[in-house]
Amino acid sequence: MEKRNELYRGKAKTVYTTDDPHYLVMHYRDDVSAFDGVKLAKLDLKGETNNRINAHVMGVLESAGVKTHFVRLLNERESLVKAMKMLPIECVVRNVCAGSMAKRYGIDEGTRLPEPIFEFFLKSDALHDPLCNDDHIRVLGWASADEIGQMKTLTHRVNAVLKPLFAGAGIDLVDYKLEFGHPLDDPQGPLVLGDEFTPDGCRLWDTKSGEKLDKDRFRRDLGEVIERYREVAIRIGAPL
């Protein structure tokens, strides 16, 4: 598979076309962004650390029967993925109250939830990813009722696989964000997990100490961002 042209440059990854229109190269850069691109920095080793963690997590999900766009690692910073038409929706599951949910409802961060809470957000930096519901998504045409159902089912299935993966490493999976799409070679088929699963898009707290091991270290200026990302990799068995 030959890497060709830059297709899209996101805040932390760049996507390249290949000689096969059904496959893309995802390049993990060292850039880190928070608050919808307002706070930016470069962190040494971030690209390769996230590339490795993502590859491992996607592999675990595939083994558990969750279809993902991930094909294989290409090198330290790049992975081959299936080309997809992505839905403009972010799916969040929360096992513990934190972040925007804590702020929105005035609930203490760290409050345990008796069952996972699912939230949809519209993917739009310009609008700061507003919270939305099934009706907004369906009536405004961002996804169909069937796709909404699939996003919920798949996101909860991911929780059933990843909560125990992290728990086994002494880490609480507090919340996370997923994005879905249709592979270009199967546009009418079932939704497939796209984008990434890394400490950039989830909250991970050490079970015993409560220490944050995710991008909140950057958002909140806690320091040792990549050190903690690499600790996550080692603890979940993602080879670095």
Dist CA 79 CA 25 (whole Å): 6
Residues 210-229 that bind ligand ASP (CB under 6 A): 215, 219
36 binds ligand ASP (CB under 6 A): yes
| 123 CB burial (10 A radius; 0-12, 13-18, 19+) | middle
Q: Which stretch binds ligand ASP (CB under 6 A): 21-29, 31-39, 47-55, 160-168?
A: 31-39
Q: What are phi and psi of 36, to 5 degrees?
A: 60, 45
Report the candidate in 206, 202, 230, 227 with the shortest Cα–Cα distance to residue 216.
Answer: 202
**Three-state DSSP state, 238:** coil
- How remote is the C-alpha of 194 from its chain's centroid? 8
Sheet architecture: strand order including 23-28: 3-9, 13-18, 23-28, 78-82, 70-75
Cβ closest to ligand ASP, residue 147 vs residue 179: 179
What is the 8-class DSSP label of residue 195?
S
One of 78, 90, 147, 179 touching ligand TMP (CB under 6 A): 90
Token pair 């920095």: residue = 41
Q: Which of residues 189-208 bind ligand TMP (CB under 6 A)?
A: 201-203
Query: Closer to ligand ASP at the Cβ: 47 or 183?
Result: 47
Answer yes or no whether residue 179 interacts with ligand TMP by CB under 6 A: no
Binding track, positions 10-29, relative to ligand ASP; x by CB under 6 A: -x------------------
Is 43 a binder of ligand ASP (CB under 6 A)? no
List binders of ligand TMP among 112-141 (CB under 6 A).
121, 129
Which residues of the chain form contacts with ligand ASP (CB under 6 A)? 11, 33-37, 215, 219
Instruction: Report the interface residues with ligand TMP, using CB under 6 A.
Output: 90, 92, 98-101, 121, 129, 175-177, 201-203
